[in-house]
Structure 1
């Protein structure tokens, strides 16, 4: 209740701030609020962004952005008056997550464009109005969430499937859907770039092209702080699989990775997701959206929801798990090993899965997005 009261007061103050700021002239600027950075990096590289006097990034995490004369990067803070001031005077606002400041954007000038790129290609975990906790919130809280989602002009959506999810979880109509994939998915539309990225990363890691890389990229779990907490028998996989197989770990940065085994590499820090996926031959994941993105490469995906019953109760799923994944669902390390050894993968199924979640990823996604900027 206290948190809800604080958010309501915050939204009221921010909305009044934006209302009074209408007295100031609009700036030829774009403000980008980011938690993840990768989509933003693709956007700021687009030539159209050079036509703006200022491109201002407020980021929650340290991230290496491309340098341009009109781009400035600051740390994001919900209580930063300069940040609120820049938002209030910008022609365009682009976000990749849900930020509290959204709740006060109902008083921005009506001709300002607010775009939500989001940060995931598809969805397994419940979020927005479908979140497990939503039904237990007080009515005031529910109303606040629903009003906040209406403050977005466009939601970037890469498929009909994801559009239907957005419409459900944000309570929005078709007119708010921008039919294009996230900007960073432009990477998967250039075979030469994919190959070069794969070759360069393998060379830097001294891994031959003949080596088969199995990447384990699970979702973040609050109770996993060490590699020993992972419910995958990595040692057994390295022992049973042929020597030309390597296990790559793409875990949350907070997970400690001591005593890494032979034929196991850690790609959790210092490597972009696109670069890791470019050299991945087989992906193992669970509730993460990484599988939807990886399907653009038309390579095998194994889903490993070993704790699905607990996860359904604690986090919730957007739909039946089987409707959100490929048919390669494993519940033990032995299941995974068997699928790999017997090559139990259908390229037709993978292509169908790719189309289901990446239907609109067939052009320059960033260009489609920037065309709607004022």
Structure 2
């Protein structure tokens, strides 16, 4: 946007800071607020952690302040700003799962603690400050004016393997990154009779015959694509995969990124070995799938934790190596399970091969994984809350 864009960003920042200053006139509440631009309901992580904090600390007012991102509903996003700024000013702990202007732009008071609970289990693609001034990233002018990822006290990572990338992406020291796990890890690891994940999988198999008819189910979940070349990409690649899998008794289950335009419905109807399951989170399709195919999406970590074979299909890997860049290059790191050619991918899956390199990588990336991440995080949030009264660990 050039010089004019920089002026606009600075104006936005001043307006946000001014409104926050007004909200500071309201008294600080005994409140913990979860902020999200990922959707109006808040993520699975947020809902699980908020419930755990409410159970652990019934005396604290726990709220979720969530909206759709600006590229989905710009009006709703703008209208959410006053509420977010009010809650930022009056809450003792603010938990985020992405960049929130109401948190990062103003100068927060000393009685506020901010926890960034990033919305992915890891980072295959570069993001944040790692991808500044690339076509897929933010400009330095925008990041500077809007104080991208500022004001965090702590950043939560799902495992030790994410610490280095998160430190670079958020612009903090490694000491600020706490690999405490994520609530959805409990969701993925719970195989008990009370598992909500397995109950949902059973329900989905009853609702969608394509998930339970004995054909090998290949769940395809590519990353979100934006900008030049994104339009029609998903449809084109699903067609290529459909052709590649025709010689094998496999069905491609399509689950795109929730913010993606998805596949052309007319094209899907013509592909007999492809099925789309709309309105279902990809994490809930993992249990009903025999394997997962992705490119640079963090669903690879979710599927790996759930014990599913994970394959990588990255036809545009050269482009992604340049912008936004890759923390993990699938074709280099996992040569036995990563392809840029759909026929080679289909042959490996159809012939029953196993991608062992990524399975080994998952163990190193997460370390010792066990149930209990949600309760551990709830305890950490409570510590941060107590710290605002002068008790506890002290501000980072």
Common fold: TM-score over 0.5: yes
Q: Cα–Cα, structure 1 residues 2 and 52, in superposed 2: closer, same or farther, change >3 Å? A: farther
Give the Cα separation in 1 of the matches to 2:334 and 2:59. Answer: 42
Q: What is the aligned partner in structure 2 of residue 103 from structure 1?
A: 104
SS, match of residue 231 in structure 2:
coil
Q: Cα–Cα, structure 1 residues 144 and 325, in superposed 2: closer, same or farther, change >3 Å? A: farther
Answering whether residue 347 of structure 2 is matched by residue 344 of structure 1, we say: no
Give the Cα separation in 2 of the matches to 1:75 and 1:41. Answer: 21
Give the Cα separation in 1 of the matches to 2:102 and 2:78. Answer: 10
Q: What is the aligned partner in structure 1 of residue 48 from structure 2?
A: 42
Q: What is the aligned partner in structure 1 of residue 206 from structure 2?
A: 203
Matches within 5 A, 1:170-189: 170-189=170-189
Post-superposition offset of 1:137: 8.2
The CA deviation string for residues 11-63 of structure 1, in whole angstroms up to 9 with x for no partner, is 3443354455444321122222213332222222222364323514222269x
Answering whether residue 318 of structure 2 is matched by residue 315 of structure 1, we say: no
Q: What is the aligned partner in structure 2 of residue 217 from structure 1?
A: 221
Answering whether residue 272 of structure 2 is matched by residue 262 of structure 1, we say: yes
- Cα root mean square deviation, aligned: 3.0
Matches within 5 A, 1:24-173: 24-36=26-38, 37-38=42-43, 39-46=45-52, 47-48=55-56, 50-60=58-68, 76-77=77-78, 80-105=81-106, 107-131=107-131, 133=133, 143-144=144-145, 148-173=148-173
Matches within 5 A, 1:277-288: 277-288=286-297
Whether the 8 Å contact between 2:311 and 2:355 is mirrored in structure 1 is no
* Structure 2 gap segments, 5+ residues each: 386-396
* Structure 1 gap segments, 5+ residues each: 63-73
Q: Cα–Cα, structure 1 residues 350 and 131, in superposed 2: closer, same or farther, change >3 Å? A: closer
Q: What is the aligned partner in structure 1 of residue 364 from structure 2?
A: 356
Post-superposition offset of 1:279: 1.2
Q: Cα–Cα, structure 1 residues 141 and 227, in superposed 2: closer, same or farther, change >3 Å? A: closer
Post-superposition offset of 1:300: 1.4
- Give the TM-score of the pair, scaled to structure 1: 0.84
- Give the TM-score of the pair, scaled to structure 2: 0.79
SS, match of residue 125 in structure 1:
coil
Give the Cα separation in 1 of the matches to 2:141 and 2:244. Answer: 51
User: Which sits farther off after the overlay, 171-180 or 219-228?
Assistant: 219-228
SS, match of residue 55 in structure 1:
strand
Whether the 8 Å contact between 1:103 and 1:144 is mirrored in structure 2 is no
The CA deviation string for residues 78-107 of structure 1, in whole angstroms up to 9 with x for no partner, is 7732331222001111111112233324x2
Q: Cα–Cα, structure 1 residues 14 and 176, in superposed 2: closer, same or farther, change >3 Å? A: same
Post-superposition offset of 1:138: 7.9
The CA deviation string for residues 119-148 of structure 1, in whole angstroms up to 9 with x for no partner, is 111212221111051699887656557x64
SS, match of residue 152 in structure 1:
coil
The CA deviation string for residues 348-368 of structure 1, in whole angstroms up to 9 with x for no partner, is x34322223333642322222
User: Which sits farther off after the overlay, 108-117 or 48-57?
Assistant: 48-57
Post-superposition offset of 1:231: 5.9
Q: What is the aligned partner in structure 2 of residue 71 from structure 1?
A: none
Whether the 8 Å contact between 1:121 and 1:358 is mirrored in structure 2 is no
Q: What is the aligned partner in structure 1 of residue 251 from structure 2?
A: 246
Give the Cα separation in 2 of the matches to 1:134 and 1:22. Answer: 37
Whether the 8 Å contact between 2:293 and 2:313 is mirrored in structure 1 is yes
Answering whether residue 236 of structure 2 is matched by residue 229 of structure 1, we say: yes
Q: Cα–Cα, structure 1 residues 304 and 6, in superposed 2: closer, same or farther, change >3 Å? A: same
SS, match of residue 287 in structure 1:
coil
Q: What is the aligned partner in structure 1 of residue 394 from structure 2?
A: none
Give the Cα separation in 2 of the matches to 1:321 and 1:271. Answer: 26
Q: How many residues align?
A: 357
